[in-house]
Structure 1
Amino acid sequence: MPRKKKSHKYDIAGPSRRGLVRAIDGAAALDCSGINALSPKCKSTEAAYTRDFFYVGGDYVASTVPGQSIFTGQMYVEKLTPLTGVNQTYPLVFMSAGVPSGTVWLNTPDNRKGWASYFVEAGYQVYIVDITGNGRSGQNDVAAFPLRFGSTDNITQDGFTAPELSAHPYPQASGHDKWPGSGVRGDPVFDAFQASIVPLTANSTNQELSMRAAGCALLSIVGESVTFCHSGSCQYTVLLADACPDLIRASVNLEPTCLPFQSLLGDPAGPDKGRLPSRPYGFTNTPLTYDPPIASAAELRPVEVGVDTPALRSCFLQAAGNGTAVRHTLPQVAKVPFVMYTASASPHVTYDHCVALYLNQTGVPYEWTKLSDVGIAGNGHFFFLETNNLEIAAVVEADLQKLRAS
């Protein structure tokens, strides 16, 4: 008896129609943008490397169970080694602010190549860390590292992905156009980015102390390196420059949220100007090595400088000059070149000059690149995830080559 021919759902369209639909189906199956990249059919765009991971820093502390201990304060580290071999002098150590964990340095939320792959392909040994008490570094000791949310959808939209749509924007926000997608909740790229945001510790003192210890322990193993930080993680690289400067070739700061003596959050036109006191030691919440030495942060006597506007915020600097106070410098931090980058449409374009002024006041050598000055416009705070992220990486890598040659 002849075998019955199987019907096909496209048979009614005829052979030509079947081929067209199958081609369309195939194209859809190979859409590897965003979360679709999880499909086994999708090929990664990331660099070829070998990967190792380990934990560094931390120690045993008593648990809530009598006679038993837990391990806490440790830092998760990934080591990425190019398959083609390392041909650059200094390893790169990438730290995120912990809003997304260290995974933020890998592929972008819409599944384009990230900065880790870019620098691996350029021949660098790359290390990626999750800051202590965050992400894969864990929160075993919830008393030492109490958790708070990392970011809400509104904070992410207004500050990172769609500042141009904010109800109370700074003027430069209107130029933001480099986030992939609409930048608002419901867009798949935004949702993928928001899903990557993890809880943070609310204890900034313990965070800084553990990062100082774990960070220097890592560098003592790795050797002299270039540290990369973004946003709030730049407090930690300042601490490392203070504690173990001989292990840091340079500090690359992407829009550093180590704004002296303050935090700028919320509406700059509001009654408090969106400003809260913060970082009493200038760049940090915990002590730095000042000269002349200080017994307490109060001796720095910060005062407001400049006229405050939404486009250019006033700064807080040490009260120094005209015999009113002693100006305290940062001799340890000054041993490490401070390299800073600011995007044209990020909130940081309104206040990163305050970081530069305090670096100058404390005797720390720095180079500051405004991306608009090198012909790159339209970027926000997470510019290393935006549509031109590799163009910006090339600018940074060129500067690294100058450091290597110096």
Structure 2
Amino acid sequence: MVRSFVLPLLAAAGIVSAATLPRDNVDCTGVNAISPKCRSNEVKYTRDVYYVGGRLISTATGNITADQLYVEKLTPTCGVKHPNPLVFFHGGAVSGVTWLNTPDGRKGFASHFIEKGYQVYLLDHTGVGRSSQEATSEYTLWNSTGVESVQAGFTAPELNPTYPQATLHTQWPGTGQKGDPYFDQFSKGVIPFTSNWTMGELSMRASGCKLLSLIGPSYLISHSSGAQYPILLSNDCPDLVAGNINLEHSTQPFWNYGSALNSGSSIRPWGLANTPLTYDPPVTNSSELSKEWDGEDTLAKRRCYIQTEPARKLPQIAKVPYLCTTGEASVHATYDHCVINYLNQAGVKTDWIKLGEVGIHGNGHFGHLELNNLEIASVVEQWIQYQDRQKR
């Protein structure tokens, strides 16, 4: 008989499965699940790590590397069964970890797609996490998101709703408040990110297209502010983008919304980006884009900037199939239509799936981590399968 204290050592060495370890009287909630006595819900894959792109910057102490992109390559042990890889772009204030297991230990999006036989790539955007940059004057201006803002905006917006849809939020695991083990696990993964959007976009444009040139045409799956990068790659190297999939895109044209009516701040002077996009007729300066407000501003549905007609087109971006999904309880339910309207006006065909309308209810902004996250993953997978059939 193997003594009980030996089992965790054997599991760590891969000699026995972690699933064989006892769980009786073991607390496996939140970070406690790090214990070798707790089972993992992850699937089997092999993992390789790379840095893609980058450039040298001369400093007083020598050349340093900047703009390199951290990439994890996750390959299903069952074999790759689909022709196009999936590349995941995280949102603001988090890292590529957001696509792995959820704060309460369930399978994340990466596991779902690996289990289905997809080749998966996870990124830490330049300037974030394992792609963090040297604090040079041309690059790094840090900001982050406080615990209170995380609670109010993402994990428990229903407690003090600033928009009507927030009261529908039901899917965050646990209470969504400080002191809950799942909230604490999630909030510790909220990290600084760059507020120098121009430099961030320029570096991601270069390293992103470089990555796609190495791995071939891929589906780009993004969350929140991570959506700005697939838009740019669709503009710069559309032949390498099989599809642009956005879980609540944060590329609202020309504007970031405040919580009060008629509030916010100007951003993205090129409409969907802070750096140049290819318009037709051509634009050499963002000031040439003429815009106007469309609609009345309400807390349930915000007004949008659109182009003044005749609208310029986005011919490069229009080459790439586009999908957005929106949770019924997310603040994005109030303004995701603005991006859809802008793209349609610019000649980009879009698909927009409102999750509540297809029977997936109660989701906030981080739906890919919530209790019904794999239902959302299945919607994304069905869209990918449809695009693949169209190409045959």
Specify if TM > 0.5: yes
Q: What is the match of residue 159 of structure 2?
A: 165
Offset from partner CA, 1:79-128 (integer Å, 9 cap, x none)? 00000100012100001024110000000011111000000000000000
Contact 2:94 2:190 (C-alpha < 8 Å) held by counterparts: yes
TM-superposed deviation, 1:26:
5.4
Q: What is the match of residue 389 of structure 2?
A: 405
Contact 2:293 2:305 (C-alpha < 8 Å) held by counterparts: yes
Contact 1:145 1:202 (C-alpha < 8 Å) held by counterparts: no
**Closer, same or farther: CA 338–40 of 1 in aligned 2, 3 Å:** same
Query: TM-score, with normalisation over the residues of structure 2?
Result: 0.92
From 346, 359, 375, the equivalent of 1:391 is 375
Q: Distance in 2 between matches of 1:64 and 1:96?
A: 34
From 38, 45, 48, the equivalent of 2:41 is 45
Where 2:246 maps in the other structure, the secondary structure is strand
Q: What is the match of residue 177 of structure 2?
A: 184
TM-superposed deviation, 1:28:
2.5
More displaced, 338-347 or 89-98?
Answer: 89-98
Contact 1:212 1:240 (C-alpha < 8 Å) held by counterparts: yes
Q: What is the match of residue 6 of structure 1?
A: none
Q: Where does 1:351-390 land on structure 2 (aligned, <5 Å)?
A: 351-390=335-374
From 307, 325, 332, the equivalent of 1:318 is 307
Query: TM-score, with normalisation over the residues of structure 1?
Result: 0.89
Matching of residue 61 in structure 1 with residue 45 in structure 2: no
Q: Distance in 2 between matches of 1:385 and 1:215?
A: 25
Where 2:210 maps in the other structure, the secondary structure is helix
TM-superposed deviation, 1:233:
0.8
Matching of residue 344 in structure 1 with residue 328 in structure 2: yes
**Closer, same or farther: CA 145–185 of 1 in aligned 2, 3 Å:** farther
What is the number of residues matched between the two proteins? Answer: 369
Structure with max Cα Rg: 1
Gaps of 5+ in 2: 1-21
Q: Give the share of equivalent positions with the same residue, in percent.
A: 50
Q: What is the match of residue 264 of structure 2?
A: 275
Q: What is the match of residue 86 of structure 2?
A: 92
Contact 1:98 1:135 (C-alpha < 8 Å) held by counterparts: no
Where 2:158 maps in the other structure, the secondary structure is helix
Matching of residue 218 in structure 1 with residue 223 in structure 2: no
Contact 1:97 1:131 (C-alpha < 8 Å) held by counterparts: no
Q: Distance in 2 between matches of 1:262 and 1:131?
A: 22
TM-superposed deviation, 1:145:
2.8
Where 2:24 maps in the other structure, the secondary structure is helix
Q: Where does 1:47-196 land on structure 2 (aligned, <5 Å)?
A: 47-65=43-61, 68-166=62-160, 168-196=161-189
Q: What is the match of residue 242 of structure 2?
A: 249
Contact 2:29 2:181 (C-alpha < 8 Å) held by counterparts: no
Q: Which amino acid aligns with 2:294?
A: V
Q: Distance in 1 between matches of 2:23 and 2:72?
A: 36
Q: What is the match of residue 233 of structure 1?
A: 226
Q: Distance in 2 between matches of 1:172 and 1:85?
A: 42
Where 2:25 maps in the other structure, the secondary structure is helix
List, as ranges, runs of 4+ consecutive aligned residues in structure 1 with deviation greater than 3 Å. Answer: none
Q: What is the match of residue 18 of structure 2?
A: none
Supply the RMSD in Å over aligned alpha carbons: 1.3
Q: Which amino acid aligns with 1:58?
A: G
Q: Distance in 1 between matches of 2:374 and 2:42?
A: 13
From 269, 283, 290, the equivalent of 1:294 is 283
Q: What is the match of residue 25 of structure 2?
A: 28
TM-superposed deviation, 1:394:
1.1
Where 2:231 maps in the other structure, the secondary structure is helix
Q: Distance in 1 between matches of 2:231 and 2:124?
A: 17
Q: Which amino acid aligns with 1:276?
A: S
Q: Which amino acid aligns with 1:27?
A: D
Where 1:165 maps in the other structure, the secondary structure is coil
Q: Distance in 1 between matches of 2:265 and 2:380?
A: 32
Contact 2:279 2:312 (C-alpha < 8 Å) held by counterparts: yes
Q: Distance in 1 between matches of 2:78 and 2:40?
A: 17
Q: Distance in 2 between matches of 1:302 and 1:367?
A: 24
